[in-house]
Amino acid sequence: MSAVRVAPSLLAADLTRLAEEVRSAEAAGADMLHLDVMDGVWVPNLTFGPGLCAALARITQLPLDVHLMVANPDALVQPFVAAGAKSIAVHVEAVPHLHRTLVRIRELGASPGVALNPLTSLASLEEVWPFVDFLLLMTVNPGFGGQALIPETLGKLARLHALRQARRPEVLLAVDGGVTVTNAPSLVASGADILVAGTAFFGASDRKAVVAAFKGGRA
């Protein structure tokens, strides 16, 4: 099994001190930075655009992982890849032609992924396995940081892991929403490869210890 990867979510960072927050994530041992991109339409919040992604790319070597929670993901794929995004996840419900979108992300040089809301059926993945590098399971309803993990998503993650093992074991499984030091071992035991953490990371006084605890979730 591969080592657990930790992706601090900048939604919970102090944006008035963003460069310092990025340096802190690097020093703590983070593997990537997660950008929750919301448009105030598909989800009830408004966050980051390609400009911020480009600014981050100038100050860090950490891969930038972009999660598009927007009404028109296709319009933002190229701008975010041009801004330095290394991976982009889109939601099944938000993309009319999912194959086209995933192929386009790869053609542009980024890793394509599909994001699943808590009640999005795993059956929606039936045809996507050949076209993705990772899957992002939302363990809260998207739109706001600081929510508690929905307990039922643990079972869903385990089922997704079993599907992954049967279809394409190399596809990475990421989880996002309410990830904490307390529930990380259960998430990892259920198959998570990437832990996206906002409040649990940026709200901690010892962020290096948080990363170490997350990575200790897998033997």
pLDDT by residue for the chain (219 residues), tens only, comes to 458 999 999 999 999 999 999 999 999 999 999 999 999 998 888 999 999 999 999 999 999 999 999 999 999 999 999 999 999 999 999 999 999 999 999 999 999 999 999 999 999 999 999 999 999 999 988 766 667 888 899 999 999 999 999 999 999 999 998 999 999 999 999 999 999 999 999 999 999 999 999 998 543
The pLDDT assigned to 143 comes to 62
Domains in the chain: ranges and CATH: 5-215 (3.20.20.70)
Is position 36 annotated as part of the catalytic site? Answer: yes
DSSP reduced 3-state for 159: helix
Asked if residue 118 lies in contact with residue 156, where contact means CB atoms within 8 angstroms, the answer is: yes
Asked if residue 170 lies in contact with residue 189, where contact means CB atoms within 8 angstroms, the answer is: no
Query: What is the Cα–Cα distance from 162 to 171, expressed in whole angstroms?
Result: 12
The pLDDT assigned to 219 comes to 32
The pLDDT assigned to 51 comes to 97
Angle between helices 50-59 and 74-82 (to 10 degrees): 20
User: Looking at 39, 65, 133, 176, which residue is catalytic?
Assistant: 176
The pLDDT assigned to 171 comes to 98
Is position 193 annotated as part of the catalytic site? Answer: no
The pLDDT assigned to 1 comes to 45
User: Looking at 36, 39, 133, 193, which residue is catalytic?
Assistant: 36
Query: What is the Cα–Cα distance from 198 to 186, expressed in whole angstroms?
Result: 18
